[in-house]
Amino acid sequence: MAPAPQWFTRRRRPATARSVLAGEAAAEAARKTSQEVPEVEEAPEEPEFPVVGDEAAAAFFDLDNTVMQGAALFHFGRGLYKRHFFHKRDLARFAWQQVYFRLAGSENPEHMADVRNSALSIVQGHRVAELMSIGEEIYDEYMAERVWPGTRALAQAHLDAGQKVWLVTAAPVETATIIARRLGLTGALGTVAESVGGVYTGKLVGEPLHGPAKAEAVRALAAAEGLDLSHCAAYSDSSNDIPMLSLVGHPYAINPDSRLRKHAHENGWRLRDYRTGRKAVKIGIPAAAGVGALAGGAAAAVALQRRRR
């Protein structure tokens, strides 16, 4: 092969002291950076909650509009109507009560009294065992699909942590117990209807488990179970449950009415709204609590009534 022309031959430039210094500095810097582990600023860890193995802790969940979309009594009423326990005019009243409940977004005491009286008049004279059996069927027909997936995930997180989970509701204790059992919860605190010889009399034992009565029920159960309320959590949608929420160390506002939302913001309570997909205001709600779907219980009842006409 012929040698390259002289004009094509590159001339080697002699290394100057400055170029040698630059090369050595670059090599040394490369060695240092390859050996160094970059420091990453870590975000402060959130405290674990629920705390696994904390035997002094438990969780208390309101039912209507917290665990379940709409009012349990309304869904129960639909099931009883299907079984000819009452007439169309009563179904219309139940439908209106449900519409009011959903539009108002809170539990008005007078409205709740109307619902209570309607339910008591319907079950009067029926056997407790009969209503319990029917309640199981009604749960599958109307209630199971209306449980908020997000709230159920919250309850499951407590169960997985080894804690007891209780429903606390103004609904009849029999209905609440069925729902708690079907969800795998520990049990339920609910309104007790009087029965004699296993037959409903149409009266209550005391008054509905509502507002301050819920707080007293939680306090009594905590004392009996040896719980530390500062370790416990409570969940509700209603400002009527502020007394119960204020009892515990971990109060949560779930699908809150306007007054509870304001109270939660002012007091730094955790908040989750499954109706709109709003994110939690405070960190610490388990990630499994996804956004639930909104169901139209009242619309379904009205449609059912129209089809039967």
Model pLDDT for residues 23-50, shown as the tens digit of each residue? 666 666 666 655 655 554 554 454 677 8
The predicted model gives 91-119 an average pLDDT of 58
- Residue in the block written with tokens 């515990």: 248
Task: State the CATH number of the domain containing residue 111.
Answer: 3.40.50.1000
For all residues of the chain together, what is the average pLDDT? 78
Within-domain flag for 301: no
Residues classed as catalytic: 62, 64
Within-domain flag for 43: no
pLDDT at 74: 81
Does 301 have pLDDT greater than 50?
no
**DSSP alpha helices (H): ranges in the chain?**
17-35, 72-82, 88-104, 109-123, 128-138, 149-160, 173-182, 212-225, 242-247, 258-267, 297-308
Does 16 have pLDDT greater than 90?
no
Within-domain flag for 2: no
Model pLDDT for residues 122-167, shown as the tens digit of each residue? 788 889 999 999 999 999 999 999 999 999 999 999 999 999 999 9
Does 309 have pLDDT greater than 50?
no
Q: How many domains does the chain have?
A: 1
Within-domain flag for 157: yes
- Domain span at residue 221 reads 58-274
pLDDT at 122: 76
The amino acid at 70: G
Model pLDDT for residues 158-202, shown as the tens digit of each residue? 999 999 999 999 888 999 999 999 999 999 999 888 999 999 998
Q: How far is it, in rounded angstroms, from Cα 67 to Cα 147?
A: 6
pLDDT at 121: 73
Model pLDDT for residues 257-268, shown as the tens digit of each residue? 999 999 999 999
Contact criterion met (CB below 8 Å) for 202 and 120: yes
Within-domain flag for 252: yes
Within-domain flag for 265: yes
Model pLDDT for residues 196-237, shown as the tens digit of each residue? 999 999 888 878 888 899 999 999 999 999 999 999 999 999
Q: Which of 187, 185, 176 is nearest to 210 (CA)?
A: 176
| Cα atoms found within 13 Å of the Cα of residue 75, Cβ hemisphere only | 29
Q: Would you give the end-to-end CA distance of the chain in angstroms?
A: 105
Does 14 have pLDDT greater than 50?
yes
Q: Using pLDDT thresholds of 50, 70 and 90, give the confidence band for residue 75.
A: confident
pLDDT at 204: 85
Does 77 have pLDDT greater than 60?
yes
Within-domain flag for 51: no
Within-domain flag for 189: yes
pLDDT at 136: 94
Q: Per the structure block, which two tokens stand in for 272?
A: 């989750």
